[in-house]
Amino acid sequence: MTLPVKSSFKKAIAGRIIAYPANGQTAFILPRKLDQLSSEKIAVKGQIEAIEAMILGQLTAAVYEESPGLLRNIDVVAAIDQIMARAQYSRELNGKRARLNQTNQLLLRGMRHPLLRNPVPLDLEIKPPVRGLIITGPNAGGKTATLKNCGLAIMMTEIGLFLPSREICDIPVSQQIFSQIGDQQDLDNSLSTFSAEMTNIAKIVTHAQSRSLVLLDELGSGTDPDEGAAIAISVLQALQLKGCLVLATTHYSRIKDYAVKHPNYRTASMDFNADTLTPTYRLLLDQVGQSRAFWIAQKVGMPKEIIDQAQKVLAGQLPLSSSTVVLKEKATSKIVKTHFCKGDVVYAGNLEREGIFYALEANQTLAKIFVNKQFSVVPVKRLKLRRKAADLYPEGYNLDLLFISDWQEYKFNKDLNRGSKKAYKKLVKYEQEVKSNSSKNS
């Protein structure tokens, strides 16, 4: 804290001079008494901080001595909290405790997906020697949801959750769970949909073991159907030879035929109501379903003529008509962009006035112009060039003179800068008048 004192009286105050203003007529003084109090305050504050550090150190040492027990208590509390959370969530789901087995036997009885509203319960049965299930059926019929429901049932059981099912389910103990669901395309690593899928499946085939659960969605898609189906069948064969529990979805007929003929695979189809032409989302075991591509295309708004044409293509009739559309180049008008320079006389449409261009703002869409002895900011697109500065002023002319609003003030400041005694006396006289007026007002 300082006191402003006129320079001529600075020695009348006992203390230290902290600073002078630019004119040197005032001195800011820290009184000696305040200086002493500030020093005492700093000393007391240091003592307080030392006492606080000592207390914190003692508390830290006490906690450190008990840290092994405290850490054990934290682990116990966390474990109990997890158990209670699982129990609470299982009660909210009205779940049933599943029976575990080590023979890769999966029996789901009315399993409901916990994240779906009003889900259709899933009934599914896989018993040895069957090691896999190939799910077919229409698009948007629930194949992927069924795949996820099975994987979720096994994972929920293994972390200690009860299952939201109609009856008790039999769940296999799985040491690993692998999944290939969704588009794994990666542009950064130059991976197409098919190459990304094959990269993931190659890792699955390499690391899968006898107690592994493998979930494969649309296996072999994204490439030539014959080659993709051949690779998919080879993958399914390799996984069942390892003893894995495999659940896969497909639209390929060759994979369907493989699942029908192979004794270790079972087929299933998502139900489709032929009368109402809508899926029921129920899983029908030991059946092979159709993809219903025409129905899906029609449902999402595909024009009827395209559906009719697709049915002809399916019957072997290829559409070979040529287009009669002729494209022509459109005439494009060239947009001439006006560049403004400092000092140009411009017309601002929004102000309906002429002004002098000063500069563009940072965003390049607004401009600063000088109108009626003051600056205004206007959109650049509202400006029109009237006269160029290069045609109005000689080379080397100081364009800053165009933007002076008060010439007397400009001349006065210029005289002060060059050291004019007359201007300095005028400044001193003005400051004295201001001080005198402030004293009278106070």
Per residue in 338-372, pLDDT (tens digit) is: 688 888 899 988 888 889 898 888 778 888 888 88
Say yes or no to pLDDT of 257 above 50. yes
Greatest mean pLDDT among 90-94, 179-183, 330-334 lies in: 90-94
More confident residue, 89 or 197: 89
- Rounded-to-integer distance, Cα 442 and Cα 439, Å: 5
Burial class (CB in 10 A: 0-12, 13-18, 19+), 155: middle
Q: How many CA atoms lie within 13 A of 122 on its CB side?
A: 30
- Rounded-to-integer distance, Cα 45 and Cα 201, Å: 67
Cα dihedral 96, 101, 103, 104 sign: positive
- Rounded-to-integer distance, Cα 145 and Cα 158, Å: 20
Say yes or no to pLDDT of 163 above 90. yes
The CA-atom distances, in angstroms, between 436 and each of 4, 22, 433 are 17, 20, 5
Say yes or no to pLDDT of 184 above 80. no
Q: 288 and 251 in contact (C-beta within 8 Å)?
A: no
Q: 222 and 193 in contact (C-beta within 8 Å)?
A: yes
CB atoms within 10 A of CB 3: 13
CATH class (in words) of the domain with range 338-405:
mainly beta
- Rounded-to-integer distance, Cα 45 and Cα 266, Å: 80
As a whole number, mean pLDDT of residues 148-161 equals 93
Q: 245 and 85 in contact (C-beta within 8 Å)?
A: no
Say yes or no to pLDDT of 188 above 60. no
Count each helix (H run) and each strand (E run) in the chain, helices first. 11, 18
Angle at alpha carbon of residue 428, lines to 423 and 434, rounded to 5°: 125
- When mean pLDDT is compared across 109-118, 139-148, 301-310, the lowest value belongs to 301-310
Give the pLDDT band (50/70/90) at residue 440: low
- Rounded-to-integer distance, Cα 139 and Cα 147, Å: 14
The CA-atom distances, in angstroms, between 109 and each of 123, 126, 164, 342 are 5, 12, 10, 82
Q: 247 and 150 in contact (C-beta within 8 Å)?
A: yes
* pLDDT tens per residue across span 39-61: 888 899 999 999 999 999 999 99
**Eight-class DSSP state of 211:** T
Q: Given this model, what pLDDT does residue 439 score?
A: 64
Give the pLDDT band (50/70/90) at residue 189: very low
As a whole number, mean pLDDT of residues 371-395 equals 86
Give the β-pairing of 106-111 and 122-126.
Answer: antiparallel
Q: Given this model, what pLDDT does residue 331 score?
A: 66
Q: State the pTM of this model.
A: 0.56
Q: Given this model, what pLDDT does residue 335 score?
A: 56
Tell me the pLDDT of the chain averaged across its residues: 84
- Rounded-to-integer distance, Cα 108 and Cα 146, Å: 11
Greatest mean pLDDT among 214-218, 338-342, 430-434 lies in: 214-218
Residues 6+ positions from 292 with CB-CB distance below 8 Å: 137, 138, 139, 141, 272
The CA-atom distances, in angstroms, between 75 and each of 79, 80, 85, 160, 383 are 6, 9, 15, 18, 71
Q: Given this model, what pLDDT does residue 190 score?
A: 42
Under DSSP, is residue 42 helix (H, G, I), strand (E, B) or coil? Answer: helix
- Rounded-to-integer distance, Cα 111 and Cα 169, Å: 8
Q: Given this model, what pLDDT does residue 213 score?
A: 93
Give the pLDDT band (50/70/90) at residue 195: confident
The CA-atom distances, in angstroms, between 144 and each of 141, 150, 180, 269, 314 are 9, 10, 11, 12, 26
Strands (E), 74-195: 99-101, 106-111, 122-126, 132-136, 170-172, 176-180
Say yes or no to pLDDT of 442 above 60. no
The CATH number of the structural domain formed by 99-305 is 3.40.50.300
- pLDDT above 90 covers what percent of the chain? 36
Say yes or no to pLDDT of 125 above 60. yes
As a whole number, mean pLDDT of residues 80-94 equals 94
Say yes or no to pLDDT of 153 above 90. yes
Angle between helices 407-417 and 421-441 (to 10 degrees): 110
